[in-house]
Amino acid sequence: MKAPLPVIQEIALPDGRTVTIESGRMARQADGSVLVRCGGTALLATVVSAPEAREGVDFMPLTVEYKEKFASAGRVPGGFLKREGRPSDREILVARLVDRVLRPLFPEDYHAETQVIITLLSFDQEVAADSLAGLAASAALAVSDVPFNGPISEVCVARINGEFVVNPSPAALDEADIEMMIGASKDSVVMVEGEMNEVSEAEMLEAIRVAHEAIKVQIAAQLELAAKVGAPAKRTYNHETHNEELKKRVWDATYAGAFEVAGRELTNKAERSEAFKAVYTAFAATMTEEELAQWGSLAKVYYHEVEYHAMRNQSWRTASALTAARPPKFAPFGAKLTCFRAPTVAPCSRAAKPSRLPRLPWVRHWTATASTPPPSWATSASTCTTTSPRSLRVKRACCAEPAAAKSATVT
């Protein structure tokens, strides 16, 4: 039996590198699967969704996993533990980055259990695998029959030596003053995460624009791949039962009351919830026992939509009507910095290990030595000013006289 011929689609990155998406050779029993390569890095993404939703499930049970195999770096687990361990922090964070972009783009009424598994098969130190994970997951969904309002993609954009680079190497990121992970669809940006070193808003927007332009190219490539593969039509489903007549009835009977409650500007959450609940209770009293038994839970779902639109419309109305004579109202807030006296430390040897000394936040740090006398702030109260709590890590003085270290006042 001849091996199946894969369908391959290539994407050119701005710096000349090529990303290859391959489908049809690996994991063919999954609803959708692709192999994404760039340099020596290879990711296998698979998507599987249950044919029907479980009874009583009214949400999207989506699972996104990212796994880095030891074999991807040429290693095999040995010794006492000969299996792959639990997901590392990095694997969990990469999976969350992909989940943030995928989850809101599934249909709201699709409740079938769905799993998206991304496995790192080969690792190249010059190509960051996390910047390809979102592309791999979306491409697997694009060639499947699972309903999805995509495709999407994710790229890492960094500014290195004044120039924006898409999907830079991990080593190059050490010199970047802007590092962002952007997830977007063709029309809008869905997720932005990253860090910057005191950049302007215009520079940040330029980084997002560069990333979005690169994402648009990757989305076009996914659509071409789906056409080449002959992706099946998206499956039909019916995971929710709706009653349009009941929906209109709930809206007509409760919207005015919910809109009026939203306009009261109740800052107490409990009072606001009770007021909204009273509006629904008044409507529920107009329903018969048979209607409540059959449509009560659905009526609550429709009323939740009424609350959402009433609050949103009231907020827009209030915002447009604000003037200098009627400033916006905010809940009271404040901050307080409290200084605590350092605990008394019994005399100890000058050779005591620093790790055995107690650490307290918001007090200055000094360790006594045989040749270094204690500074003035260690023997008497003084005032210290800092712009970073990190510089105020506190360690008690280690010396023969307990009175040689006293608490410092922080302002």
Whether residues 254 and 396 fall in one domain: no
Parallel, antiparallel or unpaired: strands 153-160 and 163-166: antiparallel
In a domain, 337, yes or no: no
**CATH number, domain at 30?**
3.30.230.70
Are 399 and 358 spatial neighbours (Cβ–Cβ below 8 Å)? Answer: no
Whether residues 252 and 288 fall in one domain: yes
Average pLDDT over residues 333-362: 56
Residue 229 in tokens: 């593969």
In a domain, 239, yes or no: no
pLDDT in tens, 239-249: 878 888 999 99
pLDDT at 343 over 70: no
| pLDDT at residue 402, as a whole number | 41
Whether residues 303 and 384 fall in one domain: no
Report the domain count for the chain. 3
| pLDDT at residue 239, as a whole number | 83
* Residue where a domain terminates, one of 195, 229, 263: 229
Sequence-distant (6+) residues with CB within 8 A of 260 are none
pLDDT at 132 over 80: yes
What residues form DSSP beta bridges with 110? none
pLDDT in tens, 159-169: 999 999 999 99
pLDDT in tens, 353-406: 444 444 444 444 444 444 555 555 544 443 443 344 433 333 333 333 444 344
Whether residues 57 and 90 fall in one domain: yes
| pLDDT at residue 361, as a whole number | 45
Range(s) of the domain holding residue 141: 7-77+86-229
In a domain, 72, yes or no: yes
Confidence band (pLDDT; 50, 70, 90) for 85? confident
Whether residues 113 and 12 fall in one domain: yes
Whether residues 399 and 261 fall in one domain: no
Q: How far is CA 174 from CA 169, 170, 248, 350, in A?
A: 10, 7, 57, 39
In a domain, 60, yes or no: yes
Whether residues 123 and 70 fall in one domain: yes
Q: Which residues of 8-32 are buried (b: 16+ CB within 10 A; e: fewer)?
A: ebebebeeeeebebbbbeebeebbb
Least confident of 25-34, 149-158, 225-234, 288-297: 288-297
Are 36 and 43 spatial neighbours (Cβ–Cβ below 8 Å)? Answer: yes
Whether residues 127 and 157 fall in one domain: yes
Confidence band (pLDDT; 50, 70, 90) for 81? confident
Whether residues 294 and 209 fall in one domain: no
| pLDDT at residue 346, as a whole number | 55
pLDDT at 145 over 50: yes
In a domain, 338, yes or no: no
In a domain, 291, yes or no: yes
Q: How far is CA 317 from CA 110, 200, 253, 259, 324, in A?
A: 33, 31, 21, 11, 16
Are 34 and 22 spatial neighbours (Cβ–Cβ below 8 Å)? Answer: yes
Whether residues 100 and 196 fall in one domain: yes
* Residue where a domain terminates, one of 206, 229, 252: 229
* Residue where a domain terminates, one of 271, 303, 321: 321
119: left (phi over 0), alpha (psi -120 to 50) or beta: beta
% of the chain exceeding 90 in pLDDT:
53
In a domain, 343, yes or no: no
Residue 228 in tokens: 């080449």
Whether residues 224 and 365 fall in one domain: no
Parallel, antiparallel or unpaired: strands 114-122 and 62-68: parallel
In a domain, 346, yes or no: no
Dist CA 331 CA 96 (whole Å): 32
Whether residues 97 and 191 fall in one domain: yes
More confident residue, 14 or 103: 103
Q: What is the mean pLDDT of the chain?
A: 81
Q: Is the peptide bond before 389 cis (omega within 30 degrees of 0)?
A: no
